[in-house]
Amino acid sequence: MHLLDYFLNIHFKRSQGCFAIFGFLDCPMKKKEKITIHDIAMEVGVTASTVSRALNNHPRISPATKKMVLEAAKAINYKPNRIAAALRHGKSKLIGIIVPTINRNFFSSIVRGIEEYANARDYKVMISQSYDDYKKEVETIDALLDARVDGIMVSLGKNTHSFAHFESVIQKGIPLVFFDRTTDELDVNQVIIDDYSAAYQATNHLIDQGYRHIAHFTSHMKIKIYLERLRGYRQALLDNGIHFDAKMVVESNMQLDGGRNSARFLLDQSFGFDAIFSASDYAIVGALQELKKNKVKIPQEVGLIGFSNEPFTEFTEPALSTVDQKAISIGENTAALFFEMINGDPRPKPRIKKVLDANLIIRTSSSRIPNIQLNTNSTNPE
């Protein structure tokens, strides 16, 4: 207590010229008098009800009054208290977003899409990360419910194999939209890209480039996107008369190390693969590193395609072909779906599933045949 007093004393002495020395930092003199609609009411000479209605452009308030109120509000720098409003009409104007991680171009772009769409409609977003951890995802749902969000948008974590935590959201009647990493075990609106078609195109492109022994990197099969990508890969092979070999499908965590290990595995098994279509950009970079370490020439000996168009795919040597998932568009559509749910008529609707098209981006890692059709400099396949 002595010591404390000592310090406080010093502070007190030094801070007698509060404004001069310490500026505004915690300066007790600067009392934040909150201004409410009542202050406006006083100013204009009406009641708070009228002010509230004027501010909300209620039809029963005369234009003259509205004008006065608006002006007074501006004059005294009024800021509506969203919390009070939220309490009254039960809407927080907050949207909760759960993504595995925002530290991915794909997800942060989706978030941006949602954010812009929502902000334009006077809604704000709360972003949470599940870090692909099931427990954290459950907690996060709870936290968002706690925060009284008006809706929740989710991309599932990789380890999420049970969906009970979403039932409470649904039961509370809170709009729920899934995007990208979804499940069919829940009857919920969703926005996805056409993973099947994208994978089909990617695989087809590899075949066009003369690759015939195409491996596939995938992740846990509970998540639909990986299943779909596998399906597209498989179908493209079959449609081109190429045997589908389950041994060529390698499962991993789809991170850098997973990709490295998977590539190592392929090399060790000597299946004679000449291309990899990976469901993740991270894994394909890992593979690229491992292959280069083993003096495998890309794309001459092995062709590579990733998935997601992460920025670094442009920076590798050679640049990696990949699939652009139109992340911003996914975000916008997800948000749009939410607003449809809260604005549309409340009668039950069948589940909506928006499927967007993806874009194959062809770079060097899969371009064995010169894109110009001259045969001059073309390296012959194999």
70 vs 102, beta carbon nearer DNA: 70
The binding track of 64-83 with respect to DNA, each residue x by CB under 7 A or -, is xx------------x-xx--
Listed residue (332, 335, 312) closest to 104, CA to CA: 312
Collapsing DSSP to helix, strand or coil, 41 comes out as helix
Collapsing DSSP to helix, strand or coil, 306 comes out as coil
Structural tokens at position 170: 């649904």
Site for DNA in 32-51 (CB under 7 A): 34, 36-38, 45-50
The binding track of 127-166 with respect to a second copy, each residue x by CB under 8 A or -, is xxx-------------x-xxxx------------------
| Of 102, 138, 328, 356, the one binding a second copy by CB under 8 A | 102
Question: At its nearest, how many Å lie between a second copy and the CB of residue 40?
Answer: 17
User: If binding is defined by CB under 7 A, does position 350 make contact with DNA?
Assistant: no
| Of 2, 32, 60, 243, the one binding a second copy by CB under 8 A | 32
Burial class (CB in 10 A: 0-12, 13-18, 19+), 63: exposed
The binding track of 263-302 with respect to a second copy, each residue x by CB under 8 A or -, is ----------------------x--xx--x----------
DSSP state of 163: -
What CA–CA distance (Å, rounded) separates 124 from 204?
42
Collapsing DSSP to helix, strand or coil, 307 comes out as coil
| Of 45, 315, 378, 379, the one binding a second copy by CB under 8 A | 315
User: If binding is defined by CB under 8 A, does position 89 make contact with a second copy?
Assistant: no
155 within 8 A of 318, measured Cβ to Cβ: no
Around Cβ 50, how many Cβ atoms within 10 Å? Answer: 22
147 binds, among a second copy, DNA, none (CB under 5 to 8 A by kind): a second copy
Strand partners, 161: none
30 binds, among DNA, a second copy, none (CB under 5 to 8 A by kind): a second copy
The enclosing H or E element of 361 equals strand 359-361
Q: What are phi and psi of 228, to 5 degrees?
A: -65, -40
Structural tokens at position 112: 């941006």
2 binds, among a second copy, DNA, none (CB under 5 to 8 A by kind): none
Question: At its nearest, how many Å lie between DNA and the CB of residue 142?
Answer: 15
Question: At its nearest, how many Å lie between DNA and the CB of residue 309?
Answer: 42
What CA–CA distance (Å, rounded) separates 284 from 288?
6
Question: At its nearest, how many Å lie between a second copy and the CB of residue 348?
Answer: 4
348 binds, among DNA, a second copy, none (CB under 5 to 8 A by kind): a second copy
Could you give the count of Cα atoms lying within 13 Å of 312 in the half-sphere of its Cβ? 12
Helices (H), 294-353: 327-343
Binding segment for a second copy (CB under 8 A), chosen from 73-81, 196-204, 229-237, 366-374, is 73-81
Q: Which residues of the shown chain bind DNA in the complex (CB under 7 A)?
A: 34, 36-38, 45-50, 52-53, 55-56, 58-62, 64-65, 78, 80-81, 84-85, 87-90
